[in-house]
Structure formats: structure tokens, C-alpha cells
Amino acid sequence: AQSVTQPDIHITVSEGASLELRCNYSYGATPYLFWYVQSPGQGLQLLLKYFSGDTLVQGIKGFEAEFKRSQSSFNLRKPSVHWSDAAEYFCAVEGTNAGKSTFGDGTTLTVKP
């Protein structure tokens, strides 16, 4: 069975600073990986996804993520954070069962002015 670990429960960055949110997955084959963002009182919205091809994927809102098979990681990055990026971020992995995603516990991002 697949699993996801997001080591950072809470991260605080200053507006304009760079951001990296960590995600490690466990799965025997090549996983399908996703990053979602949840704003307060909202549902989750897809930021980006990866299965194959270029290991650096671009998403919405200026986010990108890099798949590193050797490290079983799929870290999310943004070069310059905006105050509106403050939210909960979830990494998810989908295994052999199409549509059944396992989510990490989430990372809460706070942005300081």
C-alpha cells in the first residue's frame, strides 16, 4: 500500500521569500503524485501532478515540484511567496487503484508580511 509523509507540520516564511514544502512517498512502482492546496473554508484544489516525463513539473500559481526517485520525494517549491499563498498544502500519491489517493497529513503555510 502507498503512503505519504509530509515532515513539516507548519512552515512560516516572509512574503517574497522562497518556499519548499517536503513530501516523501512510499510505493513499490512509479507513483502518480499530486499536490493540492486548501484555503480556509474551501475544498482542495490541484496545484500540479506528476507521473512520467520531465521530473520538474510546473503548476498553477507559480508553483513547481520536482520528482526524485532516488529520494522518494516530490517537494513543492515557489521562488517568491505571496501573502495569498497562506493555506494548507497536501501531497498525495495514487497507486494501482486508479482514483484512490492517499494524502499526507498536510503542511500549514503561514506568510509573514
Distance in angstroms (rounded) separating the CA atoms of residues 86 and 98: 30
> Can residue 11 be called a binding residue for another protein (CB under 8 A)?
no
- Which residue carries 502507498 as its cell? 2
Among 49, 62, 77, 86, binds another protein (CB under 8 A): 49
Q: Quick one: 20 or 105, whose CB is closer to another protein?
A: 105
Distance in angstroms (rounded) separating the CA atoms of residues 31 and 52: 9
Q: Quick one: 78 or 90, whose CB is closer to another protein?
A: 90
SS3 85: helix
Site string for another protein, 83-112 (x = CB under 8 A): -----x-x---x--xxxxxxx-xx-x----
Q: Residues 98, 100, 104, CA angle at the centre, nearest 5°?
A: 135
Footprint on this chain of another protein (rule: CB under 8 A): 32, 34, 36, 38, 41-46, 49, 51, 88, 90, 94, 97-103, 105-106, 108
